Structure 1
Amino acid sequence: MFQDLDATLMAMLSASAAPSEVRAADVSFDTPDKAFNPTQTTLDLFLYDVQENRELRDQAPLVDRTDDGFVTRHRPLRVDCTYLVTAWSTQSAGLKAAEEHRLLGLVLLWLSRFEVVDEPFLRGDLTMPPQLYKLPVSVAQMKEGQGMGQFWTALGVPPRPAFSLTVTIGLLPFDEAVHEPAAKTIEIKPARSDAPTLCGRVLDTTLAPLPGTPVTVVENGAATTADRLGNFTFKDLAFGSYTLLVRIAGRPDLRTPVQYTARSQIHDVIVPAP
């Protein structure tokens, strides 16, 4: 995944519209430590920080319509990938600093043109499947409280001119999809606040009614039998927490806890398949 982002950034830097000096420079993604010693003019993009962007987190599932229902999927994880961009010259003395500064300025201006990564630049897994969201680009925006002094100290090299480049990509931690059938019928059940009843239907997993099924309120022993449409009703119950007990011959007892209130009077019971 990250290697595909590297390839995407390389495509951006080698685009025909990019400054000629940027296109001519070699592009590296190595760590700029003591061992880093390029033999030609080089732009180095070192990926040093990967964090979830919590501001962009969205827990709501993705729902896509199909011919026979819906498909529900997890949303991608939004991840900030931050690079340290440096320029490296093979010149000496003042010429070295001049070339590095010029090249660094040119690439900074070029990358700052992009609010998001244009689709033609995307490579590898960033294209298949297509990214759900555009990939935002942030240039020269250090995170609050983040300094580079300790960074260069850890690498054991003198500090040098650099800027940060952050691209936010979407990653799919879960690839499974849940297929849900489309609703074929909609049933509206009325409930009255002045004459409340604890009611519902006894259904199997296909939502077909189970007529003649005995239903009992465990807390007070009130019992009834589901009618031909699977309906059951209990009157004269105080609002509160109850347990509905359903007994079907040859199957384990099914106990369903319900919270019976003026706004929650209807409680269907789904009987698992044997």
Structure 2
Amino acid sequence: MIKDLDDSLRAMLTGEAATGSELAGAAISFATPTADWRNTASGLRLNVYLYAIEHDRELRSPERRRRVVDGVVLVEPSPARVVCSYLVTAWNKIDPAGGEAEPQEHRLLSDVLDVLLRNPVLPRPYLVGRAATVDPAVVAAEPGGTGVGPEFWTGLGTPLRPSITVRVRAALPPPTLDAGMPVSTVRVRVAGADRFQIGGTVHGPAGAVAGAWIRLAGAGTTSETDDDGRFVLPVGAEGTATVQVRATGFRPAQRDTAVPVPDGRFDIRLDPL
């Protein structure tokens, strides 16, 4: 995922660079700007160095998303969120016409800052790999390199340089957990007598049917399916139950079942009108 963020950030910087700008002609590197890198680098280069990865706990939701696929309940936790901090610097190994490398480096940083300020969120066309499967990453540019101090440059053996700190807040694709088969029967004992509820799903040719009306024949007990087509219906005592289903755009359906449901599944399929 981190590599996909790198590639997405590179794609945005390249794709959003103005024609003829310093950024359009610069090479982009994610290498650590060590002495070896500086000595081997040539031309005008933009260094985007990832120096910190932090878990963003404040923005993570405790909610889980549940969906039913082929009768199996899948549970998806809310995605974990991370903050990736990059230090962006410009390096010029070209002999400019004016004799100084710094003005060209400063123009390059200005081009980068312009792209970042125009794109507070990574545009979807530039998202790569797993980064394209979650909410687009949020990008914040902080001129001045607030994330590192002079000791960082001392450790790399180079004088303090102008830089931009870029923080990218991104969601990690959550794992999908198999929670097993949906619960189809619940037994509740009240005053020594068993009372049952049955649960199931209502499907049409295109998938789950939300808002379907469910009725227990002969008893008047009703229920309604949720967004995933699931329902729970009180049926009373053990025995046989007849469940009737109606939904807008579908033919009415009826199904008999033993209570408790013997095979652990109670699905009803509706045919379109």
Query: Which position in structure 1 is the counterpart of 2:52?
Result: 49
TM-score using structure 2 length: 0.61
- Once the two structures are superposed, residues 141-177 of structure 1 have per-residue CA deviations (whole angstroms, 9 ceiling, x without a partner) of 7898x44222212222211010111112222463434
Distance 2:43 2:193 in 1: 77
> Which amino acid letter does the alignment assign opposite residue 137 of structure 2?
L
1:165 maps to amino acid: V
CA distance in 2, matches of 1:112, 1:52: 24
Matching residue of 1:29: 30
1:55 counterpart SS class: coil
Please list every run of 5 or more consecutive structure 2 residues that lacks an aligned counterpart in the other structure: 200-235, 239-273
Cα separation, 1, equivalents of 2:181 and 2:18: 48
Is residue 76 of structure 2 the alignment partner of residue 73 of structure 1?
yes
1:150–1:198 Cα change, 3 Å: farther
- Identify the residue that residue 178 of structure 1 maps to in structure 2: 179
Percent identity, aligned pairs only, is 32
Amino acid at match of 1:24: G
Structure (1 or 2) with the larger CA radius of gyration: 1
Quote how far apart the aligned CAs of 1:66 are: 4.8
- Matched with 2:139 is 137
Residue 35 of structure 1 and its aligned partner are, at CA, apart by 1.6
Native 8 Å contact 2:43 2:94 kept in 1: no
SS at match of 1:137: strand
**2:20 corresponds to 1:5:** no
Q: Summarize deviations over 1:44-89 as a string: whole Å, max 9, x none.
A: 1001010011221222112235574743211211011111000111
Counterpart code for 2:64: P
Aligned partners of 1:69 and 1:182 also within 8 Å: no
By how many angstroms is 1:125 displaced?
Answer: 2.1
Following the alignment from structure 1 to structure 2, what is the Cα–Cα distance between the partners of residues 122 and 202? 53
Q: In 2 relative to 1, CA 73–143 (structure 1 residues): closer, same or farther, beyond 3 Å?
A: farther
1:103 counterpart (108, 115, 118): 108
The 4+ residue runs of structure 1 with deviation greater than 6 A are 141-144, 185-189, 197-200
- Cα distance in 2 for residues equivalent to 1:116 and 1:46: 19
CA distance in 2, matches of 1:62, 1:154: 46
SS in 1 for 2:118: coil
Distance apart, 1:122 and its partner CA: 0.6
Q: 1:173 to 1:140 in 2, by over 3 A?
A: same
Q: 1:164 maps to what in 2?
A: 165
The 3 A distance-change label for structure 1 pair 54 and 200 is farther
Distance in structure 1 (CA, Å) of the matches to 2:113 and 2:187: 61
- In the TM superposition, what are the counterparts of 1:228-247 in structure 2 within 5 Å? 229=237
Matched, 1:116 2:121: yes
